[in-house]
Structure formats: structure tokens, C-alpha cells
Amino acid sequence: MNQDIKNHINEALKKGVRLDGRKKDEYRKLEIEVGVIATAEGSARVKCGDTEIIAGIKLSTGTPYPDSPDSGVMMVGTELLPMANPEFESGPPRIESIETARVIDRGIRESKTIDTKKLCIEKGELVWMVMVDVLPLNHDGNLIDLGGLAALAALKNAKMVELKDGKPLFGKRTKENLPVSCMPIPVTVLKIGDNLIVDPTHEEEKAVDARLTVSVLEDNTICAMQKGGDSPLSEKDINDMVDLAIKKSQELRKILNEALAK
Amino acid sequence: MSSKFTKRPDGRKFDETRKIEAKAGVIKKADGSAYFKIGKTTAYAAVYGPRELHPRHMQDPKTGILRCNYNMMPFSSEERVRPGPSRRSKEISMVTEKALGPVMDLKDYPNAVVDVFIELTETDAGSRCAGICAAAIALADAGVTMKDMVSAISIGVIDNNIVMDLDGEEEHIEDVFVADIPIAMVPSTGEITLLQMDGRMTKENLLEGIKMVKPVLKNIAEIQRKALKDKYKR
């Protein structure tokens, strides 16, 4: 990244301001809308500043993994579409999109958001497979948090698919919800110089020294973490970052719950 | 000629398209963008460029080139679509390039590329045509030199009846012959830049279909132009 822009972001942050005028711990305006794609079992659109993400859930059936014969399978995929940013290229998924998908996946998996036991159709033979696809239409930063929110909203919005003779009837949905219990909210805190910020724009992301994604549950416990960036973090940094993440997760949870109640 | 097919499943008139919505400037990072929705089929298009073309061996010192990429999102269909290019999506990308190419003039941009990324968020037949319509708006929105709009729709032939804009249910009608003819046209000249067909029909069906599609495509071109104008009213 251009060193001058980085210095500029850094100098501004020292005075407590960001390039777009926000406070350091301030999110951009967040909008969540569910049920936006009729072909998907569940879907959501998340807009935050100029970042816009669509998440969709598709169900299919398959054989369970040998080490968990009575559990359904959940997988999160993220593609950084070349549509969303001039820096993304077509081709096989690159490490950024793999990391984004895996961090979102981990939050949902480790919190046992989805009751995979309820997705078992016949032990050892047939289970439901839940594919969560998270795709940015426009990328202006904070894909992990916003993608995670979109994935959760879509999961909460999802209905089961009808089953006939062990085959799913695609396009026919039951009234039953996907067994989703808790909602782990991912919050990424970025460290730039000595300052901590949340909800970075793409430009701020490029100026990052270190970042920490924390997935927080309703009771403020943590279910997944991921550190990124080139610089190390001190114990105090981690303490402050987790504190900030927990605080922000409560705000985000409120917005998500309001969107789901609509 | 008597026909078993007298009424369309969703009650549309034979020459009636599904409801169309178009909007320009929907993706902020892109140099030009648009979405085009016809019925449930929704296409987004983003244009980047003219920019330097990689790989370099594809560069043309005489002119810039147009590169289109058509992609269905994994949840855009009844069954999940595996991410990544397929034979189908590669072919559609190519015919989309050919459909848009005749109105483009990129000779001012040697060695450059204009990239068009088309993403389908939801599909119910007619996705390549929706993609072409969205791409044409996005290219105009990007300010790339164009001679005219390009508009596209699928002509259907159901048991000898010409219908406009087949939906998914009509594509899968059984017992009678159904043909699907995706067509793209430069509306002011009537030049046809995309023509594909699958199913079964007569030559007369085709000629009648092309005659019937012209006013429909002119109307779509108006919707596309209006989307561009509306962007500047916002």
C-alpha cells in the first residue's frame, strides 16, 4: 500500500478521527435484509457503508463423515468475486477468500449454531448438507464481520427442503426452520499504529498492522478467534481488542435480531 | 393451426415479458455497473476498465478488447451451483462478448481490456439475456464508447405459438414441442448479435419470432436507457 496514505490514516487516528469522519469504535450504517433470494433455502443481504454482501443457504443430502455418522454437514464458502473490487481476479480461490470463509465457518461451527444431530436422516448413510455461500457484490472492507452476519441471518431465515424416498425435492420447502440455536457474532478489531478500530474500509484494511477477529455469543463468551496482520500483539492489546469486540457484538446482535423480527 | 397451448402458466399475454426492473450504478467500486431483473431472474454486471490486460500475450496493440465473465451464484438455482467456471458458463461468457462486441469501439485503448463481470443472484430462465442487458447498461454507465444499446430476451416457441420471455416453468412444459431462442439485438439497426436455440420448431416459427421480438427489444432498450438517466436524477 501507498506509504503516504498509510501515514495519513495513522496521523488522523492519533487525533481520534478516521478518513470518513467516524469515531474509532463506530460502525458504518448497517442494514440487514432477509429472504432476498427465492431460489435459496435461506438468504440475506447485508449493506454497511459501500460494502454489500449476499449470503445464501442451499441444502442437499449426502453421506456423513465416518467420524460423525449421525451428524449433518455444514460448510461455508466465500468467493471474492472480481465484480466486487478491482483488486480481485478470476480463478481459483485465493488465500484471502479462503481465510474469510474459514473464519466465518469456525465461528458458526464451534458455537454449534447448527444442531447437526437434527440433520441426520439415516445414521451412517444419509444426512443433510448445509452449504452457506457468502458473496460480496461490492467490497469496501470488513468482509469477515459482515459476511458472518449475512451467513447468520441467512441461516436463521432458512427452511428445510422436502424429502421423498431419501431424495431432496429441490424447490419444495417445508415450514420447518433449519435447526439454528445461538448466533456467534464475529467482530474484527484492527490495530493501526497504537489505535484500535472496528469496521474498516478497504483502505483502512490495507493500512493494518494487526487484527483480531473474535466471535462472541449472547452470554459474551467467545467461540472463535483469528489473528491476522504482520505485527505481533501484546497481552494488553488482546485484552482491549476482546473488550471492544464484546461491546460491539452486543450492538450488532441487536441490529441482527431486529432484522430477523421483521 | 390448432394448438393445445392456449394459455401461459402465469397468465401473461403471448407477447408480454415478465416485469422488468433495471438500475445503473449499483456497485460503487466498479467503473460502471447495473442490475437487470426480469421476473425472478436477476443479473448484476460490473465493468472495470479500460485497464491493462493480463496475460500480456492477449494484448492487441491495435485495439482494446472486451472480456466478459458470466457466473451463477451458488444459491441462484434450485440445486446448488458449484463455484467456479463450467463449460456452460464459459460458453455463455463467450457469446455474451460476441453479443456486445459489435457496438463497442475500443480502438482508443490499445493493449487494454474492458472487463465485464456478470453475476446471477437468482435465476428462473433467461439468465444469459438478463446478463447481456445488465452488461450493456453497465458498459454505458462506465462511459466506454458505444454505438448503441444491446438488448436481449428469449423468444419461446411452444407448440407453434410464439411467446416472449420464457420462464422456468414454460421451459419445462412437456407433451408439446418447446423451443427457446435467446436473441440479442442492436435496437436501432435491428442487427442480431446473439442467436441461439434449443428445442424444436420450424423456420416459419423463427422468422415470426424475430418479427415479434423487435418491438419488445426496443421497449427493453428504453428501460435500459431510463436506468442510466435515473442514475443522474438520484
Contact (CB, 8 A) for A49 and A105: no
- Give residue A120's domain range: 22-181+249-261
Count of Cβ atoms closer than 10 Å to residue A206 Cβ: 15
Q: What does the pLDDT look like over B177-214, one tens digit per residue?
A: 999 999 999 999 999 999 999 998 999 999 999 999 99
**Residue A6: φ, ψ to 5°:** -60, -45
Is there a domain that residue A111 lies in? yes
- Indicate the pairing of strand A210-216 with strand A185-192: antiparallel
* ipTM of the shown complex: 0.82
Q: What does the pLDDT look like over B106-153, one tens digit per residue?
A: 999 999 999 999 999 999 999 999 999 999 999 999 999 999 999 999
Contact A137 B78 (CB under 8 A): no
Look up the pTM and report it: 0.89
Residues of A in Cβ contact (< 8 Å) with B38: none
Is there a domain that residue A244 lies in? no
Is there a domain that residue A153 lies in? yes
pLDDT > 90? residue A1: no
In this structure, what DSSP letter does residue A116 have? G
Is there a domain that residue A51 lies in? yes
Domains and CATH numbers, chain B: 20-233 (3.30.230.70)
Residues 6+ away with beta carbon under 8 Å from A86:
B29, B30, B48, B51
Is there a domain that residue A224 lies in? no
- Cα–Cα dist B230/A184, whole Å: 40
Count of Cβ atoms closer than 10 Å to residue B35 Cβ: 25
Give the nearest partner residue to B122 out of A38, A83, A135, using CB atoms.
A38
Does A39 contact chain B (CB < 8 Å)? yes
The size of the A-B interface in CB pairs under 8 A is 89
Residues of A in Cβ contact (< 8 Å) with B117: 81-83
For residue A104, the surrounding DSSP H or E stretch is helix A95-110
3-state SS class at B103: helix
Interface test with A, best of B23, B31, B80, B139 (most A CBs within 10 A): B80
Is there a domain that residue A29 lies in? yes
Does B93 contact chain A (CB < 8 Å)? no
- Find the angle CA(A154)-CA(A160)-CA(A161) to the nearest 5 degrees: 120
Is there a domain that residue A147 lies in? yes
Closest CA to B105 of B143, B146, B142: B146
CATH number at residue A109: 3.30.230.70
CA torsion through residues B43, B48, B50, B52, sign: negative
Q: In the structure grid, which three cell numbers stand for residue A220, read together?
A: 459474551
Is there a domain that residue A201 lies in? no
C-alpha gyration radius of chain B: 18
Q: In the structure grid, which three cell numbers stand for residue A207, read together?
A: 493500512
Q: What does the pLDDT look like over A207-254, one tens digit per residue?
A: 999 999 999 999 999 999 999 988 999 999 999 999 999 999 999 999
Count of Cβ atoms closer than 10 Å to residue B21 Cβ: 12
Domains of chain A: total: 1
Does A195 contact chain B (CB < 8 Å)? no
pLDDT > 60? residue B1: no
Does B80 contact chain A (CB < 8 Å)? yes
CA torsion through residues A202, A55, A241, A250, sign: positive
